[in-house]
Chains A and B, each alone.
Chain A
Amino acid sequence: EPEVTQTPSHQVTQMGQEVILRCVPISNHLYFYWYRQILGQKVEFLVSFYNNEISEKSEIFDDQFSVERPDGSNFTLKIRSTKLEDSAMYFCASLRGEVNTGELFFGEGSRLTVL
Chain B
Amino acid sequence: AQSVTQPDIHITVSEGASLELRCNYSYGATPYLFWYVQSPGQGLQLLLKYFSGDTLVQGIKGFEAEFKRSQSSFNLRKPSVHWSDAAEYFCAVGLNYGGSQGNLIFGKGTKLSVKP
Interface residues of A (CB under 8 A from B): 4, 31, 33, 35, 41-45, 48, 50, 55-56, 91, 93, 95, 97, 99-109
Q: Tell me if B104 is interfacial: C-beta within 8 Å of chain A.
A: yes
Nearest B residue to A50, CB-CB? B99
Known: A43-B90, A100-B52, A108-B42. A48 touches B106 (CB 8 A): no
How far is A104 from B90 in the complex, measured between Cα atoms in Å? Answer: 14
How far is A56 from B65 in the complex, measured between Cα atoms in Å? Answer: 29
Known: A33-B102, A42-B109. A103 touches B46 (CB 8 A): yes
How far is A44 from B36 in the complex, measured between Cα atoms in Å? Answer: 14
**Contact between B100 and A48 (Cβ–Cβ < 8 Å)?**
yes
Sample of 9 A–B contacts (CB below 8 Å): A31-B99, A31-B101, A35-B104, A43-B90, A97-B99, A100-B32, A100-B101, A104-B102, A106-B43
Q: How many pairs, one residue from A and one from B, have CB atoms within 8 Å of each other in the complex?
A: 67
Beyond contacts A31-B102, A43-B109, A109-B43: 13 other A-B pairs, Cβ-Cβ < 8 A, are A33-B102, A35-B104, A43-B92, A43-B106, A45-B105, A48-B103, A55-B99, A56-B100, A93-B44, A100-B52, A102-B101, A106-B43, A108-B42
**Contact between A43 and B103 (Cβ–Cβ < 8 Å)?**
no
Which residues of the partner chain A approach B108 to less than 8 Å between Cβ atoms? 41-42
How far is A93 from B45 in the complex, measured between Cα atoms in Å? Answer: 11
